[in-house]
Amino acid sequence: MGFGGLLHLKKHKLKMQLLEDLMMRFNVTTSQLSVHGNRLTLSVNDVVTILGLHAGGMNVETQLGEDDEVRVKFNLGTGQIKCSRLKTDLLNDLTVGEEFRGKFLLYLMCRILRPSTAVHVPNNYLKILANVNVVGNLNWAKFVYDGLLEGIKDYKKKSDGASRDQHVTGCVLLLEIFYLEHVNMHNLTRHSSSLPRIRHWDDKSISKIVSKVSSLGGVDSIQVNINIFVK
| Higher-pLDDT residue of 188, 123 | 123
Domain locations in the chain as residue ranges: 4-56+141-226, 65-138
Rg (CA), the chain: 18
- The pLDDT of 41-53, averaged and rounded, is 98
Spell out a b/e string for 162-194, using b for 16 or more CB atoms within 10 Å of the CB, else e: eebeeebbbbbbbbbbbbbbbbeeeeebbeeee
Beta-strand pair 183-184/38-41:
unpaired
Q: CA 60 to CA 125: how far, in whole Å?
A: 10
Model confidence at 164: pLDDT above 60: no
Q: Please report the sign of the dihedral spanned by the C-alpha atoms of residue 101, residue 103, residue 104, residue 106.
A: positive
- Cβ distance 45 to 178 under 8 Å? no
Query: Backbone phi, then psi, for 142, in 5-degree steps?
Result: -70, -35
* Rounded alpha-carbon distances, angstroms, from residue 150 to 11, 53, 115, 117: 25, 19, 12, 13
Model confidence at 16: pLDDT above 80: yes
Q: CA 226 to CA 178: how far, in whole Å?
A: 12
Model confidence at 189: pLDDT above 70: no
Question: What is the distance in angstroms between the CA of the first residue and the CA of the last residue of the chain?
Answer: 26
Residue 178: which H helix or E strand, with range? helix 172-182
Predicted confidence at residue 160, as pLDDT, reads 58
Predicted confidence at residue 152, as pLDDT, reads 96
Q: CA 133 to CA 46: how far, in whole Å?
A: 25
Predicted confidence at residue 190, as pLDDT, reads 61
**Can you tell me whether residue 200 is helix, strand or coil?**
helix
For 58-111, the pLDDT digits (tens) are: 999 999 999 999 999 999 999 999 999 999 999 998 788 999 999 999 999 999
Q: CA 146 to CA 142: how far, in whole Å?
A: 6
Q: CA 205 to CA 189: how far, in whole Å?
A: 9
Print the SS3 string covering 79-147: CCCEHHHHHHHHHHCCCCCHHHHHHHHHHHHHHHHCCCCCCECCHHHHHHHHHHHHHHHCCHHHHHHHH
